[in-house]
A and B are shown apart, each in its own frame.
Chain A
Amino acid sequence: MISCEEAAKICNKAQYNEAPLLEKLRLKLHILFCNTCSKFSKKNTQLTSLCDKADLRCLSESEKVEMKEKIKPEL
């Protein structure tokens, strides 16, 4: 049986499709017995779908640095 910490890590990876099958099975098994992780997993998955739904956009770090440089003389 894996620890809750381990379960959370797998769950996070799974949100980005980066958890191998075996790990996902371990997570599923853990969730069967662990209420806390079951709740966490549910919410975490929800967060992923909210982020997808919102069609988030952001500026890259280099674009932000550029912006900062541009406003610097005015500060």
Chain B
Amino acid sequence: MTTNLLHPDKWVDLYADYLFNYAVARVSDAETAKDLVQETFFAGLKSAKNYKGDATERTWLIAILKRKVIDHYRKINSKKGKAEVRINYSSNSDSDGDWLEEQVADPFSTLENDFIENEELGLAIQECISKLPKKQSLVFNMKTIQGVSTEDICKELGINPSNLWVMVHRARTALMGCLNENWF
């Protein structure tokens, strides 16, 4: 097996969105998530010499980001003082009852599975997007994720609409191929 090498100059283009999606699902605040991604890159650069090349670059960065997310929660917890343990029956009512039994998760609920599955799907899509040529991923992101209008994208990138649709077509075709095995 060939050992992996780090290419920090490409990190932002290749992994920023992937890491951002991962972070946003955990801290549910875009600004904080962005900061965590930035910190991850700093930490990655600092400890680049410790990278052994066993894991891929992305896996390695995700591992750092995980630590950053945990640190983030430690920090906000210590700001508030001690972590608070609620022993009320329910935070939004005064009623009492057999609370443990009534508060357990519904065993038939599939909501949390949906959440996990959707996050995996999101990361799978991001991974595929990062394999696209730079221009295509840029157009696809703006159009599909940020929802920028065709007109505005053309103006910003200095292209004409038929250029844009050609790039969208190529990006979408590539994504269909990339996602094919697992998700269709």
Number of interface residues of A (CB under 8 A): 30
Name, among A43, A47, A58, A64, the residue most crowded by chain B CB atoms within 10 Å (CB to CB): A58
Q: What's the dominant secondary structure at chain B's contact region?
A: helix
Tell whether, in the assembled complex, residue B121 and residue A16 are in contact, meaning their CB atoms are under 8 Å apart: no
Is A75 among interface residues, defined by CB-CB distance under 8 A? yes
Residue in A9, A16, A51, A67 whose beta carbon sits within 8 Å of that of B125 in the complex: A51
| Complex CA distance for A64 and B16, rounded to whole angstroms | 8
| Complex CA distance for A50 and B176, rounded to whole angstroms | 11
Name, among A12, A54, A70, A74, the residue most crowded by chain B CB atoms within 10 Å (CB to CB): A54
Residue in A8, A57, A67 whose beta carbon sits within 8 Å of that of B21 in the complex: A57
Q: A50-B121, A56-B122, A64-B16 are in contact. Are A16 and B172 (CB under 8 A)?
A: no
| Complex CA distance for A41 and B18, rounded to whole angstroms | 27
Tell whether, in the assembled complex, residue A12 and residue B16 are in contact, meaning their CB atoms are under 8 Å apart: no
Is A1 among interface residues, defined by CB-CB distance under 8 A? no
Tell whether, in the assembled complex, residue A51 and residue B144 are in contact, meaning their CB atoms are under 8 Å apart: yes
Tell whether, in the assembled complex, residue B8 and residue A75 are in contact, meaning their CB atoms are under 8 Å apart: yes
Q: Which of A38-60 contact B (CB under 8 A)?
A: 43-44, 46-47, 50-51, 53-60
Instruction: Write out the residue numbers on chain A whose beta carbons fall within 8 Å of the beta carbon of B37.
Output: 59, 67
Instruction: Write out the residue numbers on chain A whose beta carbons fall within 8 Å of the beta carbon of B17.
Output: 57-59
Tell whether, in the assembled complex, residue A71 and residue B138 are in contact, meaning their CB atoms are under 8 Å apart: no
Tell whether, in the assembled complex, residue A54 and residue B121 are in contact, meaning their CB atoms are under 8 Å apart: yes
Tell whether, in the assembled complex, residue B38 and residue A67 are in contact, meaning their CB atoms are under 8 Å apart: yes
Is B55 among interface residues, defined by CB-CB distance under 8 A? no
**Closest CB-CB distance, B62 to chain A, in whole Å?**
16
Is B150 among interface residues, defined by CB-CB distance under 8 A? yes
Tell whether, in the assembled complex, residue A50 and residue B183 are in contact, meaning their CB atoms are under 8 Å apart: yes
Question: What are some 15 contacts across the A-B interface (CB < 8 A)?
Answer: A12-B169, A16-B143, A18-B150, A43-B176, A47-B176, A57-B17, A58-B21, A58-B126, A58-B141, A59-B20, A64-B13, A64-B16, A67-B41, A70-B42, A75-B8
